[in-house]
């Protein structure tokens, strides 16, 4: 279900394209590494806003089952950027999927994009869910098979998906942060640099 939504009160102001969509969980294949385990980005010029909406749309078939509303507030001034579509899609999908998993029933996940002259292109995914226990928070980007438990007792393979998400964001010379507080929610922020395409691994 797609409907119009207002800008979240904590989202930055600017030229935006508001949309909302109900979204659930699904499976996503992990993009393969090159021989020897090195990343070889398949770079092309893309609109990040379109990629985000594609990821959300991909999860629509299971939306009613999970009952989580995703609100997207996307800055229409974002320039096209040089991205590996497969790996950036996986990173975004992992982050949004985990936001859904850690949301309370009938909860809301906010996604917004902004353009910063100082920082670059910023993507923020914030839920108002149960949060992540402090002892698990330090492990969320570690590449392991351990399952992370939310404050409500739900489980997620965040230690796998988010570890790869971090790798793929850094493959684009970007940065990623996660903050969380039990019973308040979790926010993930990605910052991608403006300018030339990231260098290919040798």
Tally: H helices and E strands in the chain? 5, 11
| Within-domain flag for 37 | no
| Domain, as residue range, for 138 | 2-25+43-192
Residues 112-157 have pLDDT tens digits of: 999 998 889 999 999 988 888 888 888 888 876 455 554 444 445 4
Instruction: Extract the tokens encoding 112.
Output: 């917004």
The DSSP letter of residue 161 is H
| Within-domain flag for 66 | yes
Q: For the domain that residue 167 is a member of, what is the CATH number? A: 3.30.565.10
Q: How many structural domains is the chain composed of? A: 1
Report how far residue 71's alpha carbon sits from residue 132's, in angstroms, rounded to the nearest whole number: 21
pTM given for the model? 0.78
| pLDDT of res. 175 | 96
| Within-domain flag for 36 | no
| Within-domain flag for 136 | yes
CA distances from 117 to 39, 91, 114, 129 (A): 28, 23, 10, 31
CA 158 remoteness from chain centre:
12
In the sheet where 2-3 sits, what is the strand order? 2-3, 16-23, 68-75, 108-116, 120-127, 185-192, 175-181
| Within-domain flag for 20 | yes
Residue 200 in this model has a pLDDT that exceeds 60: no
| Within-domain flag for 198 | no
Contacting residues for 154 by C-beta, under 8 A, at least 6 apart: 101, 102, 130
Reduced to 3 states, what is the DSSP secondary structure of residue 110?
Answer: strand
Report how far residue 83's alpha carbon sits from residue 70's, in angstroms, rounded to the nearest whole number: 24
| pLDDT of res. 148 | 52
| Within-domain flag for 178 | yes
For residues 13 and 121, the model is more confident at 121
| Within-domain flag for 151 | yes
Report how far residue 49's alpha carbon sits from residue 45's, in angstroms, rounded to the nearest whole number: 12
In three state form, how does the secondary structure of 51-78 look? HHHHHHHHCHHHHHHHCEEEEEEEECCC
Residues 28-38 have pLDDT tens digits of: 454 544 444 45
Q: Is the dihedral of CA 116, 118, 122, 128 positive or negative?
A: negative
């Amino acid at each position: 279900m797609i409907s119009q939504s207002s800008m979240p009160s904590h989202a930055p102001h600017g030229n935006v394209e508001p949309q909302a969509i109900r979204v659930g969980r699904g499976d996503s294949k992990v993009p393969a590494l090159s021989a020897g385990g090195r990343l070889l980005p398949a770079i092309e010029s893309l609109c990040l806003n379109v990629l985000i909406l594609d990821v959300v749309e991909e999860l629509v078939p299971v939306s009613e089952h999970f009952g989580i509303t995703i609100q997207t507030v996307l800055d229409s001034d974002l320039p096209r950027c040089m991205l590996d579509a497969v790996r950036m899609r996986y990173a975004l999908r992992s982050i949004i999927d985990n936001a859904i998993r850690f949301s309370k029933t009938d909860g809301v996940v906010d996604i917004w994009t902004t353009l910063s002259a100082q920082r670059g292109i910023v993507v923020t995914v914030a839920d108002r869910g149960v949060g992540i226990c402090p002892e698990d928070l330090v492990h969320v980007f570690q590449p392991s098979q351990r399952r992370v438990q939310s404050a409500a007792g739900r489980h997620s393979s965040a230690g796998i998906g988010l570890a790869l998400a971090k790798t793929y964001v850094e493959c684009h010379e970007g940065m990623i942060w996660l903050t969380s507080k039990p019973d308040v929610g979790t926010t993930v922020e990605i910052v991608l640099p403006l300018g030339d395409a990231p260098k290919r691994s040798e």
